[in-house]
Amino acid sequence: MTDDVLRICLWSGPRNVSTAVMYAFRERSDTSVVDEPLYAHYLATTGVEHPAVQDVIAAQDTDGDSVVENVILGPSPTPVRFFKNMAHHLGGIDRRFLDRVRNVILTRDPAEMLPSLVNQVRSPTLDGTSLPQQVALLDDMLERSETPIVLESSALLDDPEGVLRQTCELLGIPWDPAMLSWPQGPKPEDGVWAPHWYDSVHRSTGFDRARQSKRDFPARLKPLLAECAPLYARLAAHALR
């Protein structure tokens, strides 16, 4: 880049506390945030059924490469620009831009993630978990001898300050205690899909661990869980603790 903006791309999967991470960075005085700029591209190019599909497509540019050039690599009002993304939104996009941003991976145990995901996506797929795309990103970082920044949701919720301090250090930005809390309720940066996905995080004011469900893991999701498990293990092995 020709400017001095630090552009951070979080590559998460769904139901991984990614919105909470976005809210944490939003509280920094040097940072502005963007919520899933590639979502409309993903919906328009895949035709998958998600809540509020037409609203999302109407609200955003559906050309992923245009979004990269004009939003992710575009002008920033702050020295640090944080982009919350789903890794599976990268399909069909020229990925050379990844060399021009700092990439952070956020993953979660699929045994916890999948039962939550089916509340919004009735028939989730392996591709829709972001795990294959996250592993590809990890492998690319390792091949280039980069130190990958991988966040694991449970570790983050167990020790938000410790994990976020390490993240900031690796990104080369100062630690800001303001990242540990935020005002309750919707935020101006929320995407139009927020009413369908953000109910829990809108009730939060910080990284509170959700209560574990006492329900048995859905039998119909067990084959998908078996596909997800080794990919998650690969990512978790590199996670900050």
Model pLDDT for residues 182-193, shown as the tens digit of each residue = 999 999 999 999
Task: Tell me the average pLDDT across 30-58.
Answer: 95
Strand order across the 149-152 sheet: 31-35, 80-86, 6-12, 102-107, 149-152
Read off the CATH number of the domain in which 193 is found: 3.40.50.300
In a domain, 201, yes or no: yes
Task: Tell me what pLDDT residue 1 has.
Answer: 46
In a domain, 19, yes or no: yes
Q: Mean pLDDT across the chain, nearest whole number?
A: 94
Task: Tell me what pLDDT residue 210 has.
Answer: 59
What is the total count of domains within the chain?
1
Angle subtended by helix axes 222-236 and 131-143, to nearest 10: 20
Please name the helix (run of DSSP H) or strand (run of DSSP E) that holds residue 202, with its range, or none. helix 199-202
Structural domain containing residue 59: 6-236
58: its two tokens: 């109407």
Task: Tell me the average pLDDT across 218-224.
Answer: 92
In a domain, 152, yes or no: yes
In a domain, 241, yes or no: no
In a domain, 74, yes or no: yes
Task: Tell me the average pLDDT across 129-155.
Answer: 96
In a domain, 1, yes or no: no
| Confidence label for 213 from pLDDT (cuts 50, 70 and 90) | low
Indicate the pTM of the whole model: 0.94
Give per-residue pLDDT as tens, 166-179.
999 999 999 999 99
Whole-angstrom distance, CA of residue 115 vs CA of residue 124: 10
In a domain, 105, yes or no: yes
CA distances, 215 to each of 112, 116, 124, 212 (Å): 11, 12, 19, 9
In a domain, 147, yes or no: yes
